[in-house]
Amino acid sequence: MNADLKEAFSRIKPICDVIMVCPSPESIDAFISRVSDLKKKVVQELQQYLLFPLITHLKSSQTDKKNDLQSRVVDAMGIVLDKVTVNSFEMCMKMEVGLLQLVFDHTKPGMIAEISEELKLSVMKTLTLLLLNIEPKYREAMLKSHVPLLGKTVYVAVHLAKMEKLKSLRLAAITCVTAHTATHARLTRHYHITNAAIEKSAVEMLSLILPGVLGALQDVATCNDNPGHLLVITSIDAMHRILCLAMNNKFMTTNTDIKVSDFAKMIKEKENREVSKPIDPKTLPARSPEWFAVAGEKLLLITKSLVSLRTHEHFKVRKELAVYCSRLLFECNIAMHTSVPLAIDALISLSKDEYLEVAEFCTNAINTYFTKTSDDNKSKMLDALCENFFATVTSLPRVMNNIDSARKESALNLVHGYMVVLTRQRPQRLTCALSVAARAHALCAALAQAAATHPHLTLLTHHALRDINSTPPTNSPWCKLRHLDSEQCVRRFTEICCQLGDAECAELVLDTLLEMFHQTRDAELVYIMNNMCTASNSSENLIRRILNTYIEEDVWYLPLEVNIAEPPLTDADTLDVSVYNPHSWTKDSVPGLYEGAVETRYTDISYAKPRVRRPAAHDECATLYDAQRNMLLSCLLTEGLGIMATRLKAKYQPYLLKTLCLVLERVGSKYEMLHLSGLKAIYAIAQACGHSSVPELINHNADYFTNQVTVRLKKAWNCKSALQILSVVMEYSDSNILNYLYGIVQDVLVQSCDKYYEKDLHAYLQVFLTFVECIRKWYMIGELDPSEGQGNEYLDLLKDTREHIEKKEQEERLLSDAEFEKETGKTVEEMYREDLQQREEDELDYDDTVVEPSIPHPQYVTVTVIILKRCLNYVASSNRDNCILALQVLNTGFPILRQYENELLPLVHLTWAPLVSKFQAEPAIMKRAFDLLVTMAELSKDFIQNRAVKEVLPSMCAFLSATARESYRKDVGSWYRASAAYSAQVAALAALARLALRLRLAERALSAAMDAVQPYLSDKQPKPLQLSAVEFFKMMLDYDYGAAWYHLRQLCNNDQVLQPPTIEHLRLEPVVGTPYLPTDTEYENNIKLIFTYMVS
């Protein structure tokens, strides 16, 4: 015995003696401390001496039923075992039996003794260390001759993993199972046992306990109450280690040399076999072909339960499941051939996993399998996959109709994976499978149900302000999918449709989809076809067929409004008979074609011809739901054109003639969603055709839309679409397109006064508004400057006096003959004779002067005047929207005539009478009337001064005074902020200040205006109204400082004394009462803002 060993023995012997006589927690802790300090070589030599007292007290009277003390003893044993390789088979067996007795009780559920969790945990860890640190020859001996003992330990361990709650205990129990079956990671290399003898013994032992062990581990893996993902991963790892060891293909005996004796033996066994007697699995020879067949059927249930984990939320669980399926596919596919389709299903589904690590592993596994397997096996497998594919497709609607997003995504992943596998080589197996009409219909129906949409009320919302220059939406806000409730599900469904578009059977699937679409007109089918078009390899013929279906008139033009009764036609269907020519033929040259080209157009508008009713139900739906469905379908159809353009790129140019106007019409729609879908499509088309912007696209294809608009204007029921196209084209274009538009606008002007088109009057007015807005944009006619002429001028109080003195002195000089002759150099008599001579010459002179003709106005000015005159007829319209739009057209169009006073002033005069009546109308109309009045005042100045002061100003002041009481104490959060009356107040306050300046209000009118605005200085009014009132008084101080100062002094009504400045040779008296500090605190803050010129 060497010195180190002697020293270690001398140190550890007293403690071992104490433990042997009377173990205690202190002595065991001291033992653990001493052993931890010893070297492994020393512990290896002393292992029997160290373990003997511990083995003795595993079930001694001193430790019996003392779980804490037993747990310390077992932990101390584990410390020793972790440092040694057990070299005594007898001691190994004693420890195995002793430890097992601590946790085994056949009278309890699961045969688990009722001991503390800590003791169970210690026993499992120590049993694992024992089997891991035993010499290989003893491990082989145990696996051969002590199978019942090992089986009992495995049974207890799996039930601990299944029934206990402590996470660490359950993990230790599973690890104990792998140690006792020789499948632990430390005992294997790349999942395989390197020692052939041990492997054979382990396989023979596992063949006796296999289904039970795997069944218990499967329960652990699929338990819903598992604490975290690590337990699931560990149980799956243990399962495929045990499964692929016991059911490995290499243990399937195959007789390649068949002899005559084999046939004779087979016939003899067949004659002796009792057909009616069922086979008892217990009597089957272990690892015989029959045993493998029975075991494979039992293990099929385990695999079927386990593959449900492919939707687990943690990617490591999904990765471990992929390892399980991959090993089953490559190592056990003969013995477990019934489980192979399930394994491939799981791998296919996981090949679309969001985690790249999982997806790549599964993809490589599938590719490897189909590369290495024989053609016969590959064909059989593809046939099986076809059946599974249609089974999955059939169940897809049921799966999608639940709230489990992970399950939905998994189902879609599986469908997509099947399609990838079935289309991976040509001829594609999917084509053969879908050649049966029933199966193709089932696939399309399942996809349509999966893509179920949810029509909502916002689809029918009208946009408040259309902006075609806004960025098109990147998503599809009109398409709310009912079942595809996550981004991952939507993306996977799109990929499924793309895969169909790329497949050989795309035309076959399209035939079925179009047949279903013509029967049901479902939006879901359009959604599928749109996604098919996004496929990178989709054929042009496929896209052409879809496009032609989309733009069919009965498909594209769907009713979008619930049925509205149309009044019957009368004899007085024309407002102005004189504008119509009964022959209705006009000649118009179209620029941009070729020199001298003349287009003869028939307007089809004649007072002499009777009007026909519009086509029945063209714009009407029976129910609100029908209108919502039609709107959704219209948006998807429009979006589809943009998708097809993106796919075809430059090859889409031939389709522009058919589709450009259709998309422009959608852009001009009054419906928000339809407008957005058109916006998205037109941008896609412009980009696909190689244009940098939409205006460039329109300018390059102007002849397309001019022809379409002209044709559509001929059709009464289609004129609305022509107007929408015209509005959009004008908004997108520049002045170069005016020559194309003049003739079309003339037609619109003619039609707009016909009662037959009164239903579309809003669209006509929208065209007029767009035209005048574009004229202002193209010719850079900006907004009127409200601050023009407001500069702070020096106030000269003696100006009038000086002018009076100067005029008086001039009169005196003229009345003095001497002064007059001195200034002119002529006498009065001479001047008189010159005047007589000049008068005689004028009488004899003939007026032969030639008056130069006035320069004609630009054509856009002439058209603008006609438009404004036409809009005057609709200011008095009973329809609120039409009235507001007409006022808006006038307000926008008048600044165009700023430099053409001869045209402007007559129009202002004609506008006055209908405008005045609108100041008594509802607030929404009143707001637009205020805006128009300000514009007229700023342009015509003195022309309407007297009329405005007498007829309008009293109404405005009365309105502001009346509504001030309604808006009192209605600040942030009040419903009043969203009312039309509030908007009218804001407009009136802004208008009144500008009117006071432009109309140069005198003292009495100015005082009335300030009285009306004064209540809005109260801090109990809505904040925006307060700020408008502050701005009003600031402008009044600039306009008439004295009047505004005096009015504010009266409002403050205080007794403060304002001391005058000191001026030489002039004495000023103090003023009692100032405009700076009101006695009513409601006005204090806003009075300060007026004089500090700071508005927050």
- pLDDT tens-place string over residues 61-111: 777 778 888 899 999 999 999 999 998 999 999 999 999 999 998 888 888
Comparison of pLDDT for 1072 and 739, the residue scoring more: 1072
Say if residue 708's pLDDT is above 80.
no
Q: Which of 597-606, 684-693, 830-839, 962-971 has the highest mean pLDDT?
A: 684-693
pLDDT attached to residue 815: 63
pLDDT band for position 766 (50/70/90)?
confident
Say if residue 134's pLDDT is above 60.
yes
8 A C-beta contact, residue 408 and residue 352: no
Q: Which of 54-58, 632-636, 976-980 has the highest mean pLDDT?
A: 632-636
pLDDT (mean) for 695-704? 81
Say if residue 718's pLDDT is above 60.
no
- Of residues 141, 167, 297, 295, the one with CA closest to residue 227: 167
Say if residue 186's pLDDT is above 70.
yes
pLDDT attached to residue 209: 87
Dist CA 441 CA 428 (whole Å) = 19
pLDDT (mean) for 795-803? 54
- Of residues 1025, 1006, 998, the one with CA closest to residue 1086: 1025
Residues 6+ apart with CB under 8 A from 44: 83, 84, 85
Residue-wise pLDDT tens digits, 424-433: 888 888 998 8
Residue-wise pLDDT tens digits, 386-418: 988 999 999 999 999 988 888 898 899 999 999
pLDDT (mean) for 609-632? 68
DSSP assignment of 194-213 equals S-HHHHHHHHHHHHHHHHHH
What count of Cα atoms within 13 Å lies in the side-chain half-sphere of residue 1084? 6
1063 strand-pairing partners? 1066
Dist CA 676 CA 665 (whole Å) = 12
The answer, yes or no, to whether the previous bond of 281 is cis (omega within 30 of 0) is no
pLDDT (mean) for 960-975? 83
Comparison of pLDDT for 604 and 739, the residue scoring more: 739
Comparison of pLDDT for 569 and 819, the residue scoring more: 819
pLDDT (mean) for 714-719? 54
pLDDT band for position 159 (50/70/90)?
very high
The tokens for 111 are 């045969």
The amino acid sitting at 138 is Y
pLDDT attached to residue 733: 75
Reduced 3-state DSSP string for 854-898: CCCCCHHHHHHHHHHHHHHCCCCCCCHHHHHHHHHHHHHHHHHHC
Say if residue 248's pLDDT is above 60.
yes
pLDDT (mean) for 756-768? 73
pLDDT (mean) for 608-632? 67
Say if residue 609's pLDDT is above 50.
no
Say if residue 561's pLDDT is above 90.
no
pLDDT band for position 385 (50/70/90)?
confident
The tokens for 1040 are 């008439």
Say if residue 1039's pLDDT is above 90.
no
112 strand-pairing partners? 104
Say if residue 588's pLDDT is above 50.
no
Residue-wise pLDDT tens digits, 22-44: 888 899 999 999 988 888 888 88
Dist CA 735 CA 724 (whole Å) = 19
The tokens for 896 are 């165009």
Q: What are phi and psi of 850, to 5 degrees?
A: -100, 120
DSSP assignment of 954-1012 equals HHHHHHHHHHHHHHTT--TT-GGGGSHHHHHHHHHHHHHHHHHHHTT--HHHHHHHHHH
pLDDT (mean) for 679-687? 94
pLDDT (mean) for 799-820? 65
pLDDT attached to residue 75: 92
pLDDT (mean) for 50-65? 82
β-strand 620-621 against 561-562: which pairing, if any? Answer: parallel
pLDDT attached to residue 320: 95
pLDDT attached to residue 848: 52
8 A C-beta contact, residue 47 and residue 84: yes
Residue-wise pLDDT tens digits, 482-514: 999 889 999 999 999 999 999 999 999 999 999
The tokens for 161 are 């993993």
Q: What are phi and psi of 384, to 5 degrees?
A: -65, -40
Q: Tell me how far CA of residue 562 lies from CA of 459, 532, 756, 761, 1009, in angstroms.
A: 13, 32, 21, 19, 47
Say if residue 272's pLDDT is above 80.
no
Comparison of pLDDT for 285 and 58, the residue scoring more: 58
pLDDT band for position 471 (50/70/90)?
confident
Summary mean pLDDT of the chain = 82
Say if residue 684's pLDDT is above 60.
yes
pLDDT attached to residue 550: 95
pLDDT (mean) for 848-873? 78
pLDDT attached to residue 325: 94
pLDDT attached to residue 269: 62
pLDDT band for position 317 (50/70/90)?
very high
- Of residues 25, 53, 116, 43, the one with CA closest to residue 83: 43
Say if residue 434's pLDDT is above 70.
yes
Say if residue 581's pLDDT is above 60.
no
Dist CA 1046 CA 1053 (whole Å) = 11
- Distance, first Cα to last Cα, the chain: 96
What count of Cα atoms within 13 Å lies in the side-chain half-sphere of residue 254? 6
Secondary structure percentages of the chain, helix, strand, coil, to 5: 70, 5, 30
CA 708 to chain centre: 35
Say if residue 843's pLDDT is above 90.
no
- Of residues 345, 320, 342, 317, the one with CA closest to residue 332: 342
Comparison of pLDDT for 879 and 748, the residue scoring more: 879
pLDDT attached to residue 465: 65
Q: What are phi and psi of 1058, to 5 degrees?
A: -100, 110
pLDDT attached to residue 321: 95
Dist CA 677 CA 666 (whole Å) = 7
Comparison of pLDDT for 523 and 786, the residue scoring more: 523
pTM equals: 0.69
Least confident of 694-703, 726-735, 1031-1040: 726-735
